[in-house]
Amino acid sequence: MARQEGWSHLRKGWLTKPLVFLPVEVATRELDSRILLAAVLAIRGASVVLGPPGEVRRIAATLGHGSFIHNAHSHFDKEMFALLSSRNIAVTALYEEAVFIPQESNFYEKLRLDEIQPYVRKLFTWSTDQHERMLRTYPDLHSVLLFTGNPRFDLLGGVFSKFRSLSSFNEEIRRVRAPVVLFNSSAVLGNLAVEYGGFDALNERYAESDERTLAEGRALAEYHSKIQAESRRLLIQLAAQFHDVSFVIRPHPSENIESWQVQFDGVRNVLVTRVGTANDWIDESRIVVHTGCTTAVEASLLGKPVITYQPLEVPEREPQLPLAAGITCRSQESVAETIRRILRNEEVVVPLPEALIGAVSFSGDLNSAEKIANTLLVLSRESLMTTRLLESSPFFRRNSILLLAVRENLAFFAKRILKIFGRLRILGIRQPSLSSLKFSHLNHEELRAKLQEVLAVKTGSSISRTFEVFRLSDRAVVIELAGNNSELTPRTRRRWF
């Protein structure tokens, strides 16, 4: 569907339905849970905008009301939160890497949440453990924090066992043969040199930080580089030893995938791919190997044998929870022997640690998605009422809404454009968009199939009603449940944009 029709649909119902904005930064990690949340919200009567963060932010700032859920919360997000709040957008956040917490007591202090508190309505937490740690660090956030769990874990209960990429993943899985050993790469900063300028990219992110923060960032990048080197040596040895095993390497979306592809080009039993979601490949895998990836948590909860490869002992750099999942191996020989024992179906203890159970909310139903949807809908309706009151005021100039949005968006993104061009001038190369790697495309057929599955689970039938998906851009869409459209009153039958 042409993008003009999507915008026309949004304009027509601008003041009749609550709007919810769901940005997806890392599609392989977040897309399925965002689709689940979008379906629940649309069933409840909302218009849901789904797409990559930059596009969703611009759409939200232009429309001027609704609720928005970000995938992180720190002082780095302050400027963006302030812009959205100024446009009457109710900002919320769910920290997608909340289980990726190093073993340091001051982790949440470094996020400096007090700086973003004026702009954030709700901060959703994964677990009581995370909730209590954040509350101890920031007692003033007691009215902002809300324990909901994460919709990622709603997908693990068996109800949505077929909630997976359809055509694209099925084509990719034919390229490998069982048994499959899955390796999820997570040492991102160790593989940014070719495409993103290595430490220069890190300097840009920490440009406004103090020397201590910058030094910590450099130390983390050095640690990631060592983990990358050890991981590649491990996989080369494993591929040579286990000829009848397929090794699937899934680089992090922020990584340079070409460096992996070049290194394993021609290796018959190794596939380097980003097709499909993390859960897609976990389902198809016999064993999951990782060096500190959050997907180890999902794999462990799904009962898959997990091998945690820790070639270095640097506790202050290691993510606490993911490394607690599975069997810890310190050497290549130990990993190889553990794989042999699992493939021979020998008794191998695959612990599900209490630390992991206590760190995530896992109920295996729609509990987390429903909790978050309830809050987003309440905030969206409040925002909608505020905009309606402004619209009815004689002092309100409806033509100014677009001008204000354009002005604020230009000021906000011009700074980033200048930074990008400045970095490109220094590097002397043309860099690809990081966002395009994290969210490359949106398959509308697969999207509708997943939305219908959620409807079938919630209502017991998906035949009588269907979802409407309107295209806003190449990667952003607006989702509604057919038949939930409100009739426009004469007062709202006007051109607003």
The highest-confidence range among 47-51, 258-262, 352-356, 457-461, by mean pLDDT, is 47-51
Express the helix, strand and coil content of the chain in percent, nearest 5 each: 50, 15, 35
- State pLDDT tens for residues 224-233: 888 899 999 9
Mean pLDDT, residues 385-390: 82
In this structure, the number of other CB atoms found within 10 A of the CB of residue 397 comes to 10
Residue range 416-425: mean pLDDT, rounded: 46
Residue that wins the pLDDT comparison between 16 and 364? 16
Residue 218 main-chain phi, psi, to 5 deg: -65, -40
Conformation bin of residue 150: beta by default, left when phi > 0, alpha when psi is -120 to 50: beta
Long-range contacts of the stretch 341-348 (C-beta < 8 A, 24+):
342/286, 342/287, 342/305, 343/179, 343/245, 343/286, 343/287, 348/305
Per-residue pLDDT for 21 more than 90? Answer: yes
Full-model pTM: 0.78
The model's pLDDT over 337-364, given as tens digits with 9 standing for 90+, comes to 999 999 998 866 665 555 555 555 555 5
HSE at residue 203, side-chain half, CA atoms within 13 A, is: 11
**401 — pLDDT class (breaks 50, 70, 90):** very low
**Could you say which DSSP state residue 347 is in?**
-
Each domain of the chain, given as residue ranges in start order, spans 3-156+362-492, 173-359
The fraction of the chain above a pLDDT of 70, given in percent, is: 68
What confidence score (pLDDT) does residue 359 get? 54
- List pLDDT tens digits, range 264-280: 999 999 999 988 778 88
pLDDT beyond 90 at 178: no
Report the percentage of the chain scoring pLDDT > 90.
28
Question: Dihedral, CA atoms, 194, 256, 70, 281, nearest 10 degrees?
Answer: -170
Angle of the 444-459 helix axis to the 27-43 helix axis, nearest 10: 50
The strand pair at 66-70 and 89-94 is best described as parallel
Span 450-470, average pLDDT:
78
pLDDT band at 436 (very low <50, low <70, confident <90, very high): very low
The single-letter DSSP state of residue 77 is: G
Ranked by mean pLDDT, the top range of 150-164, 168-182, 362-376, 394-408 is 168-182
More confident residue, 260 or 115: 260
pLDDT of 1 above 80: no
Parallel/antiparallel/unpaired status of strands 477-481 and 467-471: antiparallel
Is the separation of the CB atoms in 374 and 92 below 8 Å? no
pLDDT for the residue numbered 39: 93
Give the residues across from 181 on adjacent strands.
247, 287
What is the pLDDT at residue 430? Answer: 37
5-19, 199-213, 367-381: which range is least confident on average?
199-213
Q: How distant is the alpha carbon of residue 87 from its chain centre? A: 24
Residues ≥6 apart with Cβ < 8 Å to 232: 263
Position 378 pLDDT exceeds 60: yes
**Fold of the 173-359 domain:** Rossmann fold (3.40.50)
